[in-house]
Structure formats: structure tokens, C-alpha cells
Amino acid sequence: MAAHSSPALPEDNKLASDDLHAPGWVDTAGRRISISRLEPWIDITWIVIGLILCLYAQRLGVWGMSGPDSGFFPMLAGVIVLAGGIAQLLTTTRRRHSAEDLPFWDNAGAPRRVLTLLTGIVALILLTRYAGFIVASLTMLPFLLRQVEKRSWLYAITVAVIATIAVHVLFVKLLGMQMPRGPLGF
């Protein structure tokens, strides 16, 4: 298996004008924005999101007289996101000086896939509100798997059905939570 290699940058990390069309973001000074420069900020963002989730969960109430309250799952999610962000930040800072300075977008199609994924998630949220969880999931998951992961329709539909059933069984049947229902009642 061949090792990944990236083009060597000049010592000042500036790109020649013909390199500006290579995959990756370029700042106004003509320097390529690399993973090692962005990764700590992304990790800090996850830490902040985790803290916000924990604070919000605390306001909702984590534990009541009869057991878990409405803030229990947001608190659990916040702790997991916070711990993951801290662990990733520690890993990033330890390997920062030895890591290869790869471009942020290693593949020319990556920005389009990220934008498609974010658009799909927003559409899933909006569709869930009006069509219900099951219809929204069965509609958007195959679309996302086809557009972002470039999977076959058979694979995308199979994964969407299995994931939707699994989430429904876990949250509705086992945990007794209500998922948004559409005009058709499911």
C-alpha cells in the first residue's frame, strides 16, 4: 500500500500561483490552510458544544424523584461530545509538530460533499417537522448515502430502512419517547 504524499510547500508555506487551484483552502496571503492549523479550533468548537449541551441539560433537570429527567440524554450527549473534544485536542496538540502538513481538503470533491451533507441534515430536520420522523428518515438517508458516500440505491435504501427501524425501536419502543409524527400518523 502506497503512503500518502502531499506536494512539498516552500519554506514560507506560500504557494505558487499555479498551485492555488490545488485542493485545499487558501488564505488571503496565498498560504494553504492545512489540517494542522484548523484541527485545534475544530476540537475547541466540539468542547464548547459539549459544554453548552451540559449547561442546557442542567437547566432541564438531569435526575428527578422518579429517575432520569428530560435533561438526562442531553447531559449524556454533552459529556460524550465534551470528552471527545478534549481527547481529540490532547491528541492533536501531542502530534502537531510531527504531523505532515496536509491540505484541509485533500480531495477536490470534499467541499461539495460536506455542503451536501449539511444541506441534507437541514432538510432532514425541516422534513421531520412536517412529514414525521419515519418519512423524513426514509426520504433523506438514501439521498445522503447516494450523494455523499456514492453508494448504490439498494445499499442506501437498505441502510435507511434498518437505521430508521433501529432508531424507532430504541427510542419509541424501549425508551418510551415520542418521535415526531407526520400527517399520516407515523
**pLDDT value at 12 more than 60:** no
Selection from 2-16, 69-83, 166-180 with the highest mean pLDDT: 69-83
Q: pTM of whole model > 0.85?
A: no
Q: 12 in helix, strand or coil? A: coil
Output the pLDDT for position 35.
Answer: 66
Rounded distance between C-alpha atoms, residue 37 and residue 57, angstroms: 32
Locate the domains of the chain by residue range: 18-95, 110-174
**pLDDT value at 73 more than 90:** no
**pLDDT value at 181 more than 60:** yes
Rounded distance between C-alpha atoms, residue 133 and residue 183, angstroms: 11
Counting Cβ atoms within 10 Å, is residue 141 exposed (0-12), middle (13-18) or buried (19+)? buried
Output the pLDDT for position 165.
Answer: 93
Least confident of 55-64, 90-99, 101-110: 101-110
Q: Higher confidence at residue 116 or residue 158? A: 158
**pLDDT value at 177 more than 90:** no
Least confident of 1-5, 57-61, 107-111, 125-129: 1-5
